[in-house]
Amino acid sequence: MQFENQTALVTGSTSGIGRETALLLAREGAFTIVSGRNAAKGTETVAAIEAAGGKARFIAADLSDLDSVRHLADEAGEVDILVNNAGAYPFAPTLEQSLDTFETMLDTNVRGTYFLTQTLVAKMAAKGSGSVVSVTTVAGLTGMAGTSVYGASKAAVDSFTRAWAVEFGKRGVRFNAVAPGHTDTENVANMVGQEDFEALGAKVPLGRLGAAREIAEAIVFLASPRAAYITGVTLPVDGGFMALGPTEQ
């Protein structure tokens, strides 16, 4: 049990990658704070953790709302592990990008992540230990049509990760990011269309979509003491997507 006596907060753990991450952290002994806007799904994630013998609680929060971010940080108290997973992803071609969804992505993915981390990391630094893993995307590391704002919002988080690693390294806090490739979660598959999504998965070197659990395994590794000498990196977990050469795409 590598996270015994530790508390972990996973944002956006009402579904998909965040839910799998919360389940894994709790299985390894962390008291896990589940968060998101959907209380029914949050309660269901907590029930799944408890059914597997773990300990968890749900705190409702909307990361696009700064008051809600502050409330989450206060309610969570001191955490040892923070997983910044919550993300808004209303993709749009640049010529069709609305101000509304532009602001949703920036407010949730950038501002919410930043100010939640700011509050929780102050407590980690005071204690001299902690680990933060943020979930970004391969769309922030490469050019992908239709994801200009989404990719930029997550690239900002990759940049925070490097800056924070430098700023807090000597105070015992590590920061890393996991950049998932095409990952088969219900909401994303519904948005893209299951068939089209699977066709995208078929194009990556491993020839398939990733599973939420496979992304969660990388997040949990980076959060754990097994990654004690790793900080400031963004790890693509993408079935080889980032390794594709121009003639292979």
User: Is position 37 an interface residue for ligand NAP (rule: CB under 6 A)?
Assistant: yes
Count the site residues for ligand NAP by CB under 6 A.
30
Q: Does residue number 6 form part of the binding site for ligand NAP (CB under 6 A)?
A: no
Strands (E), the chain: 7-10, 31-36, 55-60, 81-84, 130-135, 173-180, 234-237
Distance separating alpha carbons of residues 213 and 108, to the nearest angstrom: 23
Per the annotation, the verdict on 150 as an active-site residue is yes
Nearest to 37 by CA among 104, 136, 134: 104
Gap between the Cα atoms of 105 and 84, Å rounded: 14
Distance of alpha carbon 70 from alpha carbon 117, whole angstroms:
10
Cβ–Cβ under 8 Å, residues 217 and 226: no
For residues 41 and 70, which CB has a smaller minimum distance to ligand NAP in the complex? 41
First-to-last C-alpha distance (Å) of the chain: 42
Q: Which of 24, 63, 133, 165 binds ligand NAP (CB under 6 A)?
A: 63
- What are the E-state strand segments in 101-221? 130-135, 173-180
CB of 65 to ligand NAP, least distance (A): 8
| Per-residue binder mask for ligand NAP (CB under 6 A), 129-148, x = binder | ------x-x-----------
Q: Which helix (H) or strand (E) holds 219?
A: helix 212-223
- Within residues 212-241, the interface with ligand NAP by CB under 6 A covers 212
Provide the mask over 85-124, with x wherever binding to ligand NAP is found by CB under 6 A and - wherever it is not.
xxxxx------------------x----------------
Shortest distance in whole angstroms from residue 20 CB to ligand NAP: 8
Residues labelled as active-site residues: 150
Binding site for ligand NAP (CB under 6 A): 11-12, 14-18, 36-38, 41, 61-64, 85-89, 108, 135, 137, 180, 182-183, 185, 187-188, 212
